């Protein structure tokens, strides 16, 4: 049996905004990955994973997926009884798609109609995203299906709006001074409660208005400038986006990150934004001068994901 690897994902832009029809830009991140494997389940990790798969298979058995996207649950359950587990180094609760990679791996192995990610039509991409949303709802209560889709396609995806998404080319990275990087907040976050906070905020007209008129405008402008590699408007809008999040997404910003978030805005040395739902896990950083930002962020674990 081949064990295809499924990579983690990073939402560069569009966290929360995608719920309200903003654009989104999501990229695979190969540093973390997972694959379905068999073992005699001697280790606690393997045994726990196998037990989780048992529970998940019961959930999937009750899902009413459309005919084109049926899963062979019988085969899945048989494999589980033979020691199937998900071997993954993707950290959970870090906003990089641990459940998305698992869903993608299960779909790839057990879907009745095999798809080729390289030539899926735009229409089928949309349907697949909906199917993945149903499959992933087991983990988060409500899912857009975007995480598993990115993990399954292993390609950058531009979400144009709720209805349309397509593959997109990211400008080639180069060894410049600038960088996009991850900062480890030192704590895990839970997606469910964070999304709950967001929906509570959406009940107030003021928040809805500023989300639509400011957040979504800055977010979409960042995506457009980034894809064109137009770095001046990119950083101009990024600062506005980071400032907006500092004002309006406070409950989602881990306490350990508060001061350095403000420090970046005040110094213009770097700008931070949420990576996924926030509350813990990773935070995304953007800087024109990584060496300078790195010194200012001394004491935090950082991983560079893109240079320019």
For residue 195, give the nearest of 257, 255, 279, 99 by alpha carbon.
279
Give, rounded to a whole angstrom, the gap between the first and last alpha carbons of the chain.
Answer: 39
For residue 101, give the nearest of 38, 150, 50, 157 by alpha carbon.
150
Q: What's this model's pTM, rounded to 2 decimal places?
A: 0.85
Q: Which residues contact 9 (CB under 8 A, 6 or more apart)?
A: 26, 27, 28, 29, 96, 97, 100, 101, 147, 150, 151
Are 146 and 159 spatial neighbours (Cβ–Cβ below 8 Å)?
A: yes
Question: Between vectors from CA 264 to CA 259 and to CA 266, what angle results, nearest 5°?
Answer: 90
Give the whole-angstrom CA distance, residue 250 versus residue 244: 10
For residue 89, give the nearest of 149, 32, 29, 18 by alpha carbon.
32
Q: Which residues are 87's β-sheet partners?
A: 35
Per-residue pLDDT of the chain (308 residues; tens, 9 = 90+): 467 899 999 999 999 998 888 999 999 998 999 999 999 999 999 999 999 999 999 999 999 998 889 999 999 999 999 999 999 999 887 888 789 999 999 999 999 998 888 788 888 888 999 999 999 999 877 787 888 998 999 989 999 987 788 889 898 888 899 999 999 999 998 888 998 999 999 999 999 999 999 999 999 999 999 999 999 999 999 999 999 999 999 999 999 999 999 999 999 999 999 998 899 999 999 999 999 999 999 999 999 999 99
């Amino acid at each position: 049996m081949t064990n295809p690897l499924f990579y983690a994902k990073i939402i560069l832009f569009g966290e929360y905004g995608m719920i309200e029809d903003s654009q989104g830009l999501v990229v695979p991140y190969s540093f973390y990955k997972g694959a379905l494997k068999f073992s005699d389940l001697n280790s606690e990790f393997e045994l726990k994973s196998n037990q989780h798969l048992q529970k998940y298979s019961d959930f999937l058995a009750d899902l009413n997926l459309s005919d084109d996207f049926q899963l062979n649950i019988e085969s899945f359950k048989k494999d589980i009884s033979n020691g199937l587990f998900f071997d993954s180094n993707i950290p959970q609760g870090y906003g990089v798609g641990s459940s998305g990679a698992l869903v993608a791996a299960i779909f790839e192995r057990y879907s009745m109609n095999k798809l080729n990610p390289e030539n899926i039509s735009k229409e089928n991409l949309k349907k697949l995203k909906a199917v993945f949303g149903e499959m992933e709802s087991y983990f988060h209560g409500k899912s857009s299906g975007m995480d598993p889709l990115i993990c399954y396609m292993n390609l950058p995806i531009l979400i144009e709006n709720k209805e349309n998404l397509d593959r997109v080319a990211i400008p080639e990275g180069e060894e410049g001074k600038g960088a996009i990087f991850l900062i480890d907040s030192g704590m895990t976050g839970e997606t469910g409660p964070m999304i709950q906070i967001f929906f509570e905020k959406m009940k107030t007209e003021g928040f809805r208005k500023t989300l639509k008129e400011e957040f979504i405008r800055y977010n979409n402008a960042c995506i457009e400038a980034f894809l064109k590699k137009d770095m001046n408007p990119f950083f101009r809008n990024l600062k506005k986006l980071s400032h907006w999040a500092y004002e309006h997404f406070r409950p989602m910003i881990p306490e350990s990150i508060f001061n350095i978030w403000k420090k970046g805005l005040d110094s213009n040395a770097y700008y931070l934004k949420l990576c996924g739902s926030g509350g813990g896990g990773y935070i995304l950083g953007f800087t024109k001068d990584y060496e300078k930002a790195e010194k200012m962020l001394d004491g935090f674990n950082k991983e560079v994901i893109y240079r320019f």
